[in-house]
Amino acid sequence: MPFVSVGKENSDSIDIYYEDHGSGKPVVLIHGYPLSGTSWEKQLPVLLDAGFRIITYDRRGFGNSSKPTTGYNYDTFAEDLRRLVTHLGLKDFSLVGFSMGGGEIARYIGKHGTKGIKKLVFIGAVPPFLLKTQDNPEGVDQSVFDGIQKAVAADRYAFFTEFFKNFFNTDLLMGKRVSNQVVQACWNQAAIASPTASHACVSTWYEDFRKDLTQVDVPTLVIHGDADRIVSLHASGEKTAKMIKGAKLIIVKDGPHCITWTHADEVNSALVEFLEN
């Protein structure tokens, strides 16, 4: 399996697992919590058929990547992405981030600029800033994130069961746009994640990316479901689209958080059209 080394923890190498398929203009797909690069299975064949080279990777602590007890912050996540981009020698590439993956994009731009980047896509992504503060009164109260971390620490397997209900809005979409088997497969993927990563990543969800987004100067697409119970459209997608000059916002009607699965046709159509032109 292909890996890129991004550091060390004591005697062990920290390695990021990636997959590199197809040819054409490179597109890097960055997954959300608590999944892995395999969560892009609805997008991969469509983008390959459209003539793109598709790179997926597993964030440290998830999937087939190393599971260290350090580095669960967006400066490190962005550096891991930079190491992968450098390792593959990518040029004129696009970045597509779902949920937490949008944070990698924002911080990567904030630290390294947009040199070599062609386009950006944020899907149900956490930027610009989810935490409620004096200058962000529409954000989420700190106590909500603290409660999530406590639930993960107490019994992350039980937490994941409840989490995926809102990830897919199963009360409305089960049997229509998502199956029990899909939810179980996601739970299985979450269960193999590092316990440390599962807990530590929660506090990264409310990272402040507002300064990072001011440096975006390439074509940008924002896709967000209007029924997202994990990352609110109003707190996230709408604000990101307003902050980035010329960004296009596509709102998926009745779309939950994981629109990459439940509304894959709409998402894929928007992706291909945006990335091709």
Q: Which residues are catalytic?
A: 99, 228, 257
| Beta bridge mates, 21 | 54
Contact 140, 206 (CB under 8 A): yes
CA neighbor of 222 nearest in space, from 236, 208, 209, 212: 236
CA neighbor of 222 nearest in space, from 82, 84, 80, 119: 119
Contact 271, 263 (CB under 8 A): no
Query: Could you identify the residue written with the tokens 């609805």?
Result: 42
Cα–Cα distance for residue pair 188/67, rounded to 1 Å: 16
Contact 176, 226 (CB under 8 A): no
Do β-strands 117-123 and 3-9 pair in parallel, antiparallel, or remain unpaired?
unpaired
Contact 11, 80 (CB under 8 A): no
